[in-house]
Structure 1
Amino acid sequence: MIRSLVLIVVLGLAASTRLHRGRPLHKHGMLGEPRSTSRHSFGEAEIRWHTQRMNHFDPADRRTWKQRYMVNDEFYREGGPVFLLLGGEGEASISWVEKNTHVMLMAKKHNALVFQLEHRFYGQSRPTSDLSTENLVYLSSEQALADAAHFRNVITNRRNLSPDAKWVVFGGSYSGSLAAWFKLKYPHLAVGAVASSAPLLAIIDFQDYVRVVRDSLGSSCSAKVKDGFQALQVKAARRSSWPDIDNEFKTCVPFDGYNSLNLQNFFQTIAGNFEGIVQYNKDQRMEGRTNISIDDLCRLMENAPTPLEGLASVNDLLLESTDSKCLDYDYAKFVREMRNVSYSSVAAEGGRQWTYQTCVEFGFFQSSDAEDQPFGDLFPVELFIQQCRDIFDDFFDQSMLDNAIFRTNTEYGGQQPKLTNVTFPNGSIDPWHALSILKNLSDSVTAHFIEGTAHCADMYPPSAEDDETLTAGRQKIEAEVAKWLQ
């Protein structure tokens, strides 16, 4: 069997604990790769390829391409349900359908056939020869949903599945949004959807992101961070202090307060040290796992002689954890890397594609524009819009972004979608919960707000270290799925 193992802007592209527009800078994207805590086998998945249309919305366009998917039939019994795990903004990891992830635990319980479908333009699912802007017009949530619908119907026939087989769709983070939207756009093709940590509201200036980071750090720690950023801004305004900043934060290029884009990028990078850890606090990811938690960051802030030295200590910890020799925040370098259209580039691991989707569909720009947050005011929403211009300068303008946000929310309904049989798990620590569903919309559209957990925590393998709230959250999800399968 052939086997293969799937804006916050920070420019050290190897640093998986750092984020680019909320996406960790490694190939598996926001959902990451699960870390197994079980010795029990959940079967060996098989990798296969499915022929897709390039453009589902133009019948005259007959171009096709090969989409990668994984299938695990270890627990399947004839007449059982089918679970479809949708891929998101990264390479699909086969671990999700081989280890004791929550979806596989439920598959074992219900004798389900399990598929994972990799998202177009990510991982090995490459519809075009490169990632040029003219090719990326075929990268959209709508095309991805149509891919899933086509896959579902073709697979039903190919595997001689019963036309009455009950399909349940799963996803986390962006793919969680896709799971909910699949049930919205194709309600006849699935009996239910689990949309974990799914942002549903497209928004240009996502100010609540840093507000949730503030709350997740706690009042005492957040106050220290705020004092540190205020001191750092004062220092950044004095040219004589720039060499000290280079020393304290181990910068890759000399600090220059006159370079406005580098200045903004620097401050966003330092804020990203906190944002990345908060988003994935105490999760069960395999890739990028550093065991650094909110507690560790706040301990450094509390014990440092000054808040500014605390920021430097946190930065040292993140550099060490990612084997980075220096803090790379050079804006021009970032743009050069993100403009590379080759699938062999580092940006093609998902950074360029996700940037494109945020620029033309979702926004999600995690700025410092909110006044009631601790990270200063030096990475405004204009920084993210400028990135879109610089990376896609032959394509992007402000009116396109405004229209895109309006269109996305019109298409899917924002935080008031007309759905049935969808459940929305979210963690209280996860900044993305601010754009999701936190209260039941109806008897069949439920929300599970899990205190003390982070991004997509419910999807990972259970651990003895899990809080009772997370265990209870998983049980509620299982009850919803069981109800749909009755």
Structure 2
Amino acid sequence: MSAADPISDFETFYYNQTLDHFNFRPDSFNTFQQRYLINFKHWGGSNVSAPIFAYLGEEEAIDVDLSIIGFLSENAHQFQALQIFIEHRYYGKSVPFRSREEAFQNASTLGYFNSAQALADYAEVLIHVKKKLHAQHSPVIVIGASYGGMLASWFRLKYPHVALGALASSAPIRYFENIIPPEDGYYSIVTKDFREASETCYQTIKKSWSEIDAIASQPQGLSFLSEKFHTCRPLNKSSELKNYLDTLYCEAAQYNSPPSYPVTVVCGGIDGASGNDTLTKIFAGVVAYTGNRSCYVNQPRNLSETDMGWSWQTCSDLVIPIGVGNDSMFPAYQFDLKDYIKSCKAQYGVPPRPHWATTYFGGHDIKLALERFASNIIFSNGLRDPYSSGGVLEDISDTLIAVHTKNGSHCLDILNANSVTDPGWLVNQRKIEVKIIKRWIAKYYADLQAFKK
């Protein structure tokens, strides 16, 4: 199975983090406790400047990452690397102000919650840890998944004096300001995944939306749909059912990983249904994917911290324009920036900055911009991942390398390895990434020796 270290090997620390790195107002100097965890088990020590693998947390508590991210601990032994996992501000136990309620109260307290502040947090923590461990010359490799992968690549660009290199897994850094047309993005890959799995499954899903709407518009139609889909609470509108199905299909495609391949599971249910009508087939797909339950759809749930946090982040500095094209298995939808800004302003009282990500981090003409300036970033993607549509899929230079797999899914390369079920192409992808990182570190040590003379 996986060679990942148990969570008990990690020690928890807190850093007295600055609330606002970019201003000198009195309240900018307020602090909060930022959580990070270190695993010393494999570290060769500061005497030999052994490397540091730093995982940059994304939009959830760091505990989740510790249990599913295997790349660091599975490779720490051969690199003699220290492992550090750093939690993102406003998530988990790294919440500014006195409580989560106060931190999420309004735009005045949420205003410190953005990607630039998070990167500065990571820089401060890493500099602090290196100083504390007398490891000033230990090279740091930052690693991140999804939004965290974006942060890892941006960290290498913004803080090259802190990180030698970055492994950015499933990082859609080109998914801003219509660098890719919104309708050619996320949903086009979900559609492609389903269509490749089964043409009949794709056709069934494609025609189901209008059937749901047609039934919902009839007297007692919503009651019929509630009964048909065994909903946990009666449906108030057809969009509740459609949103549930949309999320289910997207989740299946995004995490369409071995050994189960969820898209194949959903389509197996749809194509193998005993009934002939479309909605019987759709419900069979739901049951195949989720398993037998007492009820489906409208399940009671509280908003998670990821729901709350990501909602703010995508309504402030990370405006990701997602649309649906006419060839999709989903109903066509055109992303309207004006409506989006209006909606965010109604929710938070302040408008988003849709151009900020590309202003601060870049993204347009990425090859031209980064080819001569940047180095040491691996952009890894699985092409079945809908977010790969916004990823870097071609090498930019000898040291800005795209590593992708045709059948890979979201962040699969850095999740816990499974020696029994991982296919050869996935094992190989990880080996390539390790080889590249070894090359960076070997060159760094050679430079370190040369500059000491």
TM-score range, shorter chain: 0.7 to 0.9
2:164 counterpart of 1:199: no
Q: How does 1:447-466 map to 2 (within 5 A)?
A: 447-463=402-418, 464-466=420-422
Aligned match of 2:162 in 189, 202, 223?
189
The whole-number CA distance in structure 1 between the counterparts of 2:320 and 2:344 is: 18
The equivalent residue for 1:14 is: none
- Helix, strand or coil: the match of 1:301? helix
Contact kept, 8 Å, 2:53 with 2:81, in 1: the verdict is yes
Structure 2 length-normalised TM: 0.84
The equivalent residue for 1:424 is: 379
- Helix, strand or coil: the match of 1:153? helix
Q: CA deviation at 1:253?
A: 4.5
The equivalent residue for 1:57 is: 22
The equivalent residue for 2:51 is: 81
- Residues paired across the two proteins, number: 416
Q: CA deviation at 1:155?
A: 1.4
The whole-number CA distance in structure 1 between the counterparts of 2:341 and 2:241 is: 14
- Helix, strand or coil: the match of 2:93? coil
Percent of aligned pairs sharing the same letter: 24
Contact kept, 8 Å, 1:278 with 1:430, in 2: the verdict is yes
* Paired residue type of 1:310: K
Q: CA deviation at 1:481?
A: 0.6
Unpaired runs of 5+ in structure 1? 1-35, 257-261, 285-290, 338-345
- Helix, strand or coil: the match of 1:233? helix
The whole-number CA distance in structure 2 between the counterparts of 1:254 and 1:380 is: 30
Q: How does 1:227-376 map to 2 (within 5 A)?
A: 227-256=207-236, 262-282=237-257, 293-304=262-273, 305-318=276-289, 320=291, 325-328=295-298, 346-364=302-320, 366-367=322-323, 369-376=324-331
Structure 1 length-normalised TM: 0.78
Unpaired runs of 5+ in structure 2? 443-453
The whole-number CA distance in structure 2 between the counterparts of 1:226 and 1:99 is: 34
Contact kept, 8 Å, 2:18 with 2:30, in 1: the verdict is yes
The whole-number CA distance in structure 1 between the counterparts of 2:240 and 2:336 is: 12
The equivalent residue for 1:212 is: 189
The whole-number CA distance in structure 2 between the counterparts of 1:53 and 1:41 is: 31
The equivalent residue for 1:175 is: 148
Over residues 18-72 of structure 1, what are the superposed CA-to-partner deviations in whole Å (9 max), with x where a residue is unaligned? xxxxxxxxxxxxxxxxxx6349769711011011100000134211111000000
The equivalent residue for 2:425 is: 469
Contact kept, 8 Å, 1:170 with 1:193, in 2: the verdict is yes
The whole-number CA distance in structure 2 between the counterparts of 1:72 and 1:295 is: 38
The whole-number CA distance in structure 2 between the counterparts of 1:453 and 1:445 is: 20
The equivalent residue for 2:441 is: 485
Query: How has the CA–CA distance of structure 1 residues 324 and 185 changed in structure 2, closer, same or farther, with 3 Å as cutoff?
Result: farther
Q: CA deviation at 1:179?
A: 0.1
Q: CA deviation at 1:168?
A: 0.6
Of 47-56 and 408-417, the range deviating more from structure 2: 408-417
Over residues 389-431 of structure 1, what are the superposed CA-to-partner deviations in whole Å (9 max), with x where a residue is unaligned? 37953514xxx33xx2211112111261623110011011110
Q: Kindly indicate whether structure 1 or structure 2 has the higher relative contact order, using CA contacts under 8 Å at least 6 residues apart.
A: 1
The equivalent residue for 1:90 is: 60
The equivalent residue for 2:131 is: 157
The Cα RMSD (Å) is: 2.9
* Paired residue type of 2:281: G
Q: CA deviation at 1:74?
A: 0.4
- Helix, strand or coil: the match of 1:393? helix
Over residues 130-177 of structure 1, what are the superposed CA-to-partner deviations in whole Å (9 max), with x where a residue is unaligned? 21122111110000000011111111111211x222111000010000
Aligned match of 1:413 in 346, 355, 362?
362
- Helix, strand or coil: the match of 2:398? coil
The whole-number CA distance in structure 2 between the counterparts of 1:427 and 1:199 is: 12
- Helix, strand or coil: the match of 1:363? coil
The whole-number CA distance in structure 2 between the counterparts of 1:412 and 1:390 is: 22
* Paired residue type of 2:170: S
Larger Rg: 2
Which has the larger helix fraction?
2
2:78 counterpart of 1:124: no
Q: CA deviation at 1:218?
A: 2.4
The equivalent residue for 1:69 is: 36
Query: How has the CA–CA distance of structure 1 residues 309 and 386 changed in structure 2, closer, same or farther, with 3 Å as cutoff?
Result: farther
